[in-house]
Amino acid sequence: MFEFKGKRSDEMHLTIENNVGFASPERDLEFITIPGRDGDLIIDNKRYAPVNRTIPCVLRFTKGKNVEEVASKIGNWLNVDHKYHDFFWSEDPDFVYKAMYYQSFNLQRVIRDYGRLVLNFKMHPIKYLKSGLVERSVANGENIYNPLALPSKPIIRIVGHGNMKLKINDQEVVLSRVEEGVMIDSENQTVTSLDGRWNRSRDLVTYPFPVLEVGANVITFEADTSSRIESVRMIPRFGELI
């Protein structure tokens, strides 16, 4: 069973067949051939490409429903917008996936009460530990442990004003002339006001955006004498490849 856009597949009378494909994410690399040089020059774009995942399903028709009505209902569930949504697998209950659906599907009626269709999802290459998607307060000097195989890209919410510095191990995040606070989103590489409405990228002096390395991460923060940090909160976003 899977859940997408808040609806479970069994609510739509779909049963997943056994032959689901599970391709692994591919690293986004460029291979450049240079005359006179053996092999290729490899450029790492430091990202993983999305994964296409095919899910064959059997559909049980409810009484009085025709093929056109059922196909329309499924299409309006899956294919009315084209952005990533939370996706849950019953076989992997500790993780949240991100998926989008943008292709057509062909619903074939096999016998009177049953049909068959194949759903093609595009999956974000990273799945997220559910417990790592909960916002938590961070104490000065606290050690946050990343239990998974990849560095995670957190959301950090800092309430305060003035000039301040936050460190994650040896990574420094320097902020200047903060007004009421900022929200730093390392995955989307944005800095906004606390309500998310206003771009505050000018407040961030340093680059790249901070990550939580695999294993231990000691968090410290300080403000200068005319500034103040009232609180630091974080959504760690622990993740690994699907």
Tell me what pLDDT residue 65 has: 74
Tell me what pLDDT residue 156 has: 98
Tell me what pLDDT residue 109 has: 79
Tell me what pLDDT residue 105 has: 87
Shared-domain flag, residues 28 and 93 = yes
Tell me what pLDDT residue 113 has: 80
The DSSP letter of residue 208 is S
Shared-domain flag, residues 92 and 155 = no
Which H/E stretch holds residue 165? Answer: strand 155-168
Shared-domain flag, residues 72 and 141 = no
Domain end: 100, 124, 148, which one? 124
Tell me what pLDDT residue 111 has: 77
**Kindly report the CA angle at 81 between 75 and 87, in degrees rounded to 5?**
80
Shared-domain flag, residues 159 and 70 = no
Tell me what pLDDT residue 158 has: 98
Tell me what pLDDT residue 130 has: 98
Contacts of 108 (CB under 8 A, 6+ apart): 115, 116, 117
CA dihedral 212→193→198→201, nearest 10 degrees, is -50
Shared-domain flag, residues 79 and 23 = yes
Shared-domain flag, residues 36 and 109 = yes
Closest CA to 204 of 233, 163, 147, 234: 163
Shared-domain flag, residues 7 and 53 = yes
Shared-domain flag, residues 157 and 59 = no
- Structural domain boundaries enclosing 134: 130-241
Q: How many domains does the chain have?
A: 2
Tell me what pLDDT residue 21 has: 72
Tell me what pLDDT residue 190 has: 97
User: Which residue ranges of the chain lie beneath pLDDT 50?
Assistant: none
Residue 159 belongs to domain with CATH number: 2.60.120.860
